[in-house]
């Protein structure tokens, strides 16, 4: 169990949450403005639909809540986004969001971490979206740099 | 108005092998900044825009200290540009049920010009006249080199 400090401290098997979350129309509109998705489903509908890419921000929310000291000594680099959505999510809907650090591993001198996130309806418990996020815990390849030195 | 759902046409049938390409977009410093600021803005959710960073996406000195030659775009920008092309192609049905996986295989530096592409790999008929599309998706730079690659599925009603 390695919660409470840096995300780079997280260990395989660590569970983050679940926590109750409500995504507001403001949050959807701001996010979609930032990536230039001006579809009426995000900007004009009341309540707007939540784009499936926003599940990535639920990972960041879990990080902020459970690893409040930040990423650790090195910047984290996002490597893979992998989401499946089973039903649309609307702004204002009460959700339960939980994460599991499913794997930490080394590949070609870099360390990777997978986190599996589920979003469920808080009222019915229905699974709405599943997300696997893979990050490189440090872009700098220290082993390769040591070899070069 | 194209964005009025009443005026949007249903997705036309697409055949395996068919490619849909977006207009090219330049990954400007401003676009990277918008995404950096969106993250704390969404998290705070208090009706105000918050400034994010410093990160490898907005601060050259910070990026260089991490071993990069300069700032690079957050991969989720290209993922969202691919989703945007899926929505332009299939309409809001793409939000009902589906999947999208993207892998960031090369850094996207400031002012790189990206084009998003969908390629139909498979079309499957489902009950009630629905169709499931299996897609290869990617973003390529101006030289045609893929920087983000992945796959997606979309289910379209009859």
Delineate the domains of chain A, giving CATH numbers in brackets: 7-23+50-148 (3.10.129.10)
Closest CA in chain A for residue B36:
A34
Q: How confident is the model at residue B8 (pLDDT cuts 50, 70, 90)?
A: low
What contacts B127, CB < 8 A, 6 or more positions away?
none
- Classify strands B25-26 and B98-104 as parallel, antiparallel or unpaired: unpaired
| Binding-site residues on chain B for chain A (CB distance < 8 A) | 3-5, 31, 34-35, 37-39, 41-43, 45, 47, 49, 55-56, 62, 66-68, 74-77, 79-81, 83-84, 87, 92, 95-104, 150
Establish whether this prediction's ipTM goes over 0.90. yes
Contact B99 A31 (CB under 8 A): no
SS3 A137: coil
What is the per-residue pLDDT across A121-143, written as a single tens digit (0 to 9) for each?
999 999 999 999 999 987 766 65
Say if CB A19 and CB A3 are below 8 A apart.
no
Mutation site for B-interface testing, chosen from A35, A45, A58, A78 by largest number of B Cβ within 10 Å = A35
Beta-carbon pairs below 8 A across chains A and B: 121
What is the per-residue pLDDT across B100-138, written as a single tens digit (0 to 9) for each?
999 999 999 999 999 999 999 999 999 999 999 999 999
Prediction pTM value: 0.92
Domain limits, chain B:
17-156
Q: Provide the pLDDT for residue A72.
A: 73
Q: Which two tokens stand for residue B34?
A: 């918008």
pLDDT in tens, chain A (149 residues): 677 788 888 999 999 999 999 999 999 999 999 999 999 999 998 899 999 999 999 999 999 999 988 777 777 889 999 999 999 999 999 999 999 999 999 998 899 999 999 999 999 999 999 999 999 987 766 655 555 55
Contact A139 B4 (CB under 8 A): no
CATH superfamily of B17-156: Hotdog Thioesterase (3.10.129.10)
Q: Provide the pLDDT for residue A147.
A: 54
């Amino acid at each position: 169990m390695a919660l409470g400090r840096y995300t780079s401290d997280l260990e395989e098997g660590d569970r983050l949450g679940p926590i109750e979350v409500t995504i507001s129309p403001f949050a959807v509109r701001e996010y979609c403005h930032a990536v230039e998705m001006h579809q009426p489903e995000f900007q004009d509908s009341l309540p707007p639909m939540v784009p499936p890419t926003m599940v990535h921000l639920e990972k960041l929310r879990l990080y902020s809540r459970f690893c409040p000291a930040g990423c650790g000594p090195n910047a984290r680099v996002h490597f893979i986004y992998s989401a499946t959505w089973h039903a649309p999510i609307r702004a204002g809907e009460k959700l339960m969001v939980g994460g599991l650090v499913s794997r930490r591993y080394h590949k070609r001198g870099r360390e990777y971490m997978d986190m599996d996130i589920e979003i469920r309806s808080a009222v019915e418990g229905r699974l709405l979206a599943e997300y696997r996020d893979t990050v490189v815990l440090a872009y700098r390849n220290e082993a390769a740099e040591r070899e070069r030195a | 108005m194209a964005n009025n759902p009443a005026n949007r046409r249903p997705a036309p049938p697409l055949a395996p092998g068919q490619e849909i390409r977006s207009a090219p977009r330049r990954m400007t410093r401003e676009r990277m900044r918008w995404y950096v600021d969106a993250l704390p803005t969404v998290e705070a959710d208090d009706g105000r825009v918050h400034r994010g960073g410093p990160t490898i996406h907005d601060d050259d000195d910070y990026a260089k200290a991490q071993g990069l030659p300069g700032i690079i775009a957050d991969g989720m920008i290209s993922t969202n540009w691919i989703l945007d092309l899926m929505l332009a192609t299939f309409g809001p049905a793409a939000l009902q049920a589906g999947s999208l996986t993207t892998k960031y295989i090369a850094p996207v530096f400031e002012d790189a010009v990206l084009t998003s592409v969908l390629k139909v790999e498979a079309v499957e008929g489902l009950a009630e006249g629905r169709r499931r599309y299996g897609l290869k998706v990617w973003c390529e730079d101006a030289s045609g080199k893929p920087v983000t690659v992945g796959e997606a599925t979309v289910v379209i009603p009859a």
